[in-house]
């Protein structure tokens, strides 16, 4: 019999470790301009039909964790709509090409999810293009590091709250009448919900709200056969970090404080999003899965 055993991989040395170079970008940032370029699973993720025939809407699907989920979903047999900001067009184009290369339908819908009307339109457009929705991933987020609460403007605070709390509410509310029994809702929270940093005061509060979103909504929707779960990443190498999510001095040593001594790569979280969407996880709801390199609480 042929030996198909995969070699063991040391998680410490699998991906780049700090120090990294400073690399400021204007928000929201472009993944292809990062150094090193993040791994979203473009070459590494291999599917096995776990999501065959499924229809997914992913916010923030152009880069980072959303992009990794989009690639994985397509390679598992799902058709995918991603949402992104117009400034991220080049990243979005790459994702759609990868989805189509996997033999699935991919659609990119640009727009600002801080608008309630756009959130409603996004769901309507996604459902029309996919012929329905049965996986909803509320992933898009806004993170800007500010040292003091005195320096957080009302406008900045409002933008963070609208992106991270209002948008998932608006999108989920619009999608719910379309979701059949067996559908899955997945929310991207953060280690910041459990171990908030002093310079992410507003962001950390929204990520804690995302945990409550998961646990409360899972109780509402359980009787309807709709599962709601979340993922709480730690430091992950994405454009969110280098475009204001962290001070540039922190980028140099980003991820160093974790037991694995490095940041995670988006590809390392893709399988969690697949697991939570897969119908084989039918008894998993109201849970928050941690992926923080050895830190965090979920």
Q: Which residues are catalytic?
A: 203
Region for residue 41 given its phi and psi (left: phi exceeds 0; alpha: psi -120 to 50; beta: otherwise): left
Side-chain half-sphere CA neighbours of 66 within 13 A: 32
What is the layout of strands, in order, in the sheet containing 288-291? 106-110, 79-84, 55-59, 135-138, 184-188, 227-233, 288-291
Strand locations in 189-287 (E): 227-233
- Run of H or E residues at 110: strand 106-110
Residues 6+ apart with CB under 8 A from 155: none
**Calpha distance 22→250 (Å, rounded):** 9
Dihedral sign for Cα atoms in the order 250, 20, 43, 86: positive
> Are 72 and 274 spatial neighbours (Cβ–Cβ below 8 Å)?
yes
Q: Considering only CA atoms, which of 107, 113, 108 is closest in space to residue 89?
A: 108
Distances (CA, A) of 296 to 55, 101, 260: 31, 36, 13
């Amino acid at each position: 019999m042929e030996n198909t055993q995969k070699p063991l991989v040391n998680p410490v040395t699998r991906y780049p470790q700090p120090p990294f170079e400073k690399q400021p970008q204007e928000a929201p940032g472009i993944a292809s301009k990062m150094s090193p370029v993040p791994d979203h699973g473009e070459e590494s993720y291999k599917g096995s039909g776990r999501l065959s025939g499924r229809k997914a809407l992913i916010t923030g699907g152009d880069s980072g964790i959303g992009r990794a989920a989009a690639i994985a979903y397509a390679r598992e047999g799902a058709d995918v709509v991603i949402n992104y900001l117009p400034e991220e067009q080049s990243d979005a184009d790459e994702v759609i090409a990868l989805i189509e290369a996997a033999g699935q339908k991919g659609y990119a819908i640009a727009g600002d999810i801080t608008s309630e009307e756009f959130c409603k339109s996004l769901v309507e457009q996604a459902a029309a293009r996919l012929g329905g929705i049965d996986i909803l991933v509320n992933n898009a987020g806004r993170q800007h590091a500010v040292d003091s609460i005195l320096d957080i403007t009302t406008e900045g605070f409002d933008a963070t709250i609208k992106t991270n709390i209002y948008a998932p509410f608006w999108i989920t509310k619009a999608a719910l009448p379309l979701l059949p029994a067996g559908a899955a809702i997945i929310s991207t929270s953060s280690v910041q919900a459990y171990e908030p940093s002093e310079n992410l005061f507003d962001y950390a509060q929204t990520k804690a709200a995302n945990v409550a979103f998961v646990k409360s909504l899972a109780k509402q929707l359980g009787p309807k056969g709709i599962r709601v779960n979340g993922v709480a990443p730690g430091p992950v190498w994405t454009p969110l970090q280098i475009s204001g999510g962290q001070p540039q001095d922190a980028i140099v040593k980003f991820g160093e404080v974790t037991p694995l001594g490095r940041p995670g790569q988006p590809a390392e979280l893709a399988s969690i999003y697949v697991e939570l969407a897969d119908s084989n996880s039918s008894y998993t709801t109201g849970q928050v899965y941690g992926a923080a390199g050895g830190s965090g609480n979920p």
